[in-house]
Structure 1
Amino acid sequence: MTRPVFRHDRPGTSASAWTTVLAAHAMVPLQLPSVAGRLVVVGAHPDDETLGAGGLIRVAAIAGWQVEVVSATAGEGSHPRSPTHSRELLAQVRRHELDQAIARLAPGAAVTCLGLPDGAVADHLAELVAHLVAMIGIDGEDVLLLAPWRRDGHPDHEAAGLAAAIAAARTDARLVEYPVWLWHWGDEQGVPWAQVRELPLDDEVRAAKMSATAAHASQVEPLSPAPGDEVLLDAPLRAHFRRDLELFFEDDEPVRDDALDLVHRERSDPWQVESDYERHKRAVTLASLPRQRYEHGLEVGCSIGALAVDLAQRCGRLLAVDASETAVTAARERTAGLDQVEVRRAAVPAQWPSGRFDLVSISEVGYFLSPRQLAGVVERSLAALTEDGHLLLCHWRHQPVGWPLAGPAVHEAFLASGAPVLVEHQDPDFVLHVLGRPA
């Protein structure tokens, strides 16, 4: 879909036109869990969350959900030609308005403003993703993540939505997206109706939403009578958000998360494989293997192939896989003279290689999986072992920025399977285990 360039101060699709369109569509209700959980709400600017999802925030609060709200920016760019309000003053005003609005929707909710530059959220995508992942944590399946629609037509909204989609994929949170500017620039053809979810709003919830909208006074009223201080959200625009329902989108398509591929594109050796630390870790890894020789090995997460070169000396055949195409290319170059090594692109667990292996190595990759993906890798790796096979695990102890799991949590997931521990090595910076196949 091609979105038109739009401006808020020019006529758009009227609220009455949308009312006609919505009446013609039978929409799927938004299903909320019967047990209260956590609602994490993301906005690009203060007021996005109120306009697009104030009703849902209020419904969740009434049901006893734990509500946490984060705005990527302070919205300091809303009045660039204001003669009365500097960007710094606008940021202070809008932060205060955000606090007041959320207090009317969900008293006691935690509210955070990250202060990213208004208009440049896309330039700080990784920072926003990392913050959201840290907020969600390792219990993502209990979280409903609410974010701007990734096709909303405003670059900050779309960047915030993309960051939320990536964070949801890394944590297994459920993502629901809300439109804001769609109502202004869009029409019936611009809506992916199969993804639409409907939430009816009763009178009390609508009243709370209207009260919260009014709290964003810098947006719904003029800052002053002076030119440049005009109202941002005039009555025709606000009419879109006075309906007795809210619409959301749920998209089942996996989001493209190319952070690790980007790391490999930006640096030929992102993990400094020839550093003293990496050399020491590989030496310990090889010394920990219970057998000198393995028939068929599998390395999951080979990166640029440094460990694959060493494992190849212990394996008759070695299949090394990585999700990054750039890493796979580098690993193929590094192992080019080793006929027993095959390097293949594969994202696990979905693309787990077929066959049985008497050595499976999972090193420095487990914390780049979501908890649900890790559970799949645990199951598939143990099932892929031959009866006398060994599972080698080695991970950095510390918390990677932007992912919910650290090395010890990864190893705990494998140890919980009941697989016998053959070797354990505890280093200040990494943890290593060799496991056998469970009985």
Structure 2
Amino acid sequence: MEKKETLSADYFAQVYDAQDDPWNFETSPYEAQKYTATIQALPNSHYRKAWEIGCSIGVLTKMLAEKCLNLLATDVSEKALDFAKVRCNDVPNVTFKKLSFPQELPDDRFDLILISEVAYYLSEEDWKLSIHKVYDLLPENGEIVLVHWLPEVPDYPQTGDQVHYSFKKEIGAKMNNVFKTRTEQYRIDVWRKS
């Protein structure tokens, strides 16, 4: 089986050039249900500092902000960030920043890192390196939330299951899986630094 490379920033630029909401985040019943399940999966009622990797147009960002004192929302697409900023213009505790994960990382530590529908855009090798990078940004008891679509997508280097299994294999000895759920379409795993 041919190993696929991490999808480039150009890939996402083309996706957003073709459509403002390419994955129907605003209108999809699937997305709405998954976002609700993601928020409900958070073990804590409040987080001091959180990082959402791949915030896209900010639909989940706005919901997540209600649980956070400070939320950093990042994306590789400037166009997506512009939409997210408009959506969240009445949410003062969110900061938006253009970052190309995993090459660029914030210079900070977070008690919550959300990786939702992002990691399968990375090659297996890049994801394995990324796991250790995000782990290092957590204080003790910090949490990483993984949420990923499960059906295979031909463009994507990995499936959702590959992403979650790889995470467990790479870092499972240093973190506790404190929540997990699986539907036919997606899975959620919450890991806490022990």
Q: What's 1:420 paired with?
A: 176
Percent identity reads 32
Q: What's 2:189 paired with?
A: 433
Equivalent of 1:398, from 151, 155, 159? 151
Contact 2:51 2:113 in 1 (8 A): yes
1:270 and 2:22 are equivalent in the alignment = yes
> What is the Cα deviation at residue 401 of structure 1?
2.0
Contact 1:422 1:435 in 2 (8 A): yes
> What is the Cα deviation at residue 170 of structure 1?
2.9
Q: What's 2:109 paired with?
A: 356
Larger radius of gyration: 1
Partner letter of residue 266 of structure 1?
A: A
> What is the Cα deviation at residue 432 of structure 1?
0.5
Q: What's 2:6 paired with?
A: 170
376 and 400 in structure 1: CA distance in 2 versus 1, 3 angstrom threshold: same
298 and 350 in structure 1: CA distance in 2 versus 1, 3 angstrom threshold: same
Q: Provide the alpha-carbon RMSD of the alignment.
A: 1.5
TM-score after normalising by structure 1 = 0.42
Q: What's 2:62 paired with?
A: 309
1:136 and 2:11 are equivalent in the alignment = no
Instruction: Please list the CA deviations of residues 184-226 of structure 1 after superposition, one character each: whole Å capped at 9, or x if unmatched.
Output: xxxxxxxxxxxxxxxxxxxxxxxxxxxxxxxxxxxxxxxxxxx
Q: Distance in 2 between matches of 1:352 and 1:291?
A: 24
Q: Which has the higher helix share?
A: 1
Contact 1:309 1:335 in 2 (8 A): yes
> What is the Cα deviation at residue 403 of structure 1?
2.1
Contact 1:366 1:374 in 2 (8 A): yes
Moved more, 320-329 or 338-347: 320-329
Q: Distance in 1 between matches of 2:81 and 2:126?
A: 21
Gaps of 5+ in 1: 1-134, 138-166, 172-255
Contact 1:261 1:327 in 2 (8 A): no
Q: Distance in 1 between matches of 2:17 and 2:57?
A: 11
Q: What's 1:369 paired with?
A: 122
Partner letter of residue 161 of structure 2?
A: P
- Flag as ranges the 4+ runs of structure 1 deviating above 4 A: none
Partner letter of residue 138 of structure 2?
A: L
Instruction: Please list the CA deviations of residues 96-123 of structure 1 after superposition, one character each: whole Å capped at 9, or x if unmatched.
Output: xxxxxxxxxxxxxxxxxxxxxxxxxxxx
> What is the Cα deviation at residue 381 of structure 1?
1.3
Contact 2:9 2:76 in 1 (8 A): no
SS at match of 1:387: coil
293 and 259 in structure 1: CA distance in 2 versus 1, 3 angstrom threshold: same
SS at match of 1:351: coil
> What is the Cα deviation at residue 257 of structure 1?
4.8
Q: What's 1:288 paired with?
A: 41
Partner letter of residue 263 of structure 1?
A: V
Q: Distance in 2 between matches of 1:333 and 1:369?
A: 28
Contact 1:299 1:360 in 2 (8 A): yes
Q: Distance in 2 between matches of 1:385 and 1:365?
A: 19
Q: What's 2:10 paired with?
A: 258
Q: Distance in 1 between matches of 2:6 and 2:187?
A: 22
Q: What's 1:214 paired with?
A: none
Q: Distance in 2 between matches of 1:302 and 1:313?
A: 15
SS at match of 1:260: helix
Q: What's 1:156 paired with?
A: none
Q: What's 1:411 paired with?
A: 164
SS at match of 2:141: strand
SS at match of 1:328: helix
> What is the Cα deviation at residue 326 of structure 1?
1.5
Q: Distance in 2 between matches of 1:257 and 1:304?
A: 16
SS at match of 2:107: coil
Q: Distance in 1 between matches of 2:113 and 2:48?
A: 11
Contact 1:367 1:400 in 2 (8 A): no
Q: What's 1:341 paired with?
A: 94
Contact 2:180 2:188 in 1 (8 A): yes
Contact 1:301 1:320 in 2 (8 A): yes
Q: Distance in 2 between matches of 1:366 and 1:328?
A: 19
Equivalent of 2:132, from 340, 359, 379? 379
Q: Distance in 1 between matches of 2:129 and 2:90?
A: 33
Q: Distance in 1 between matches of 2:38 and 2:85?
A: 22
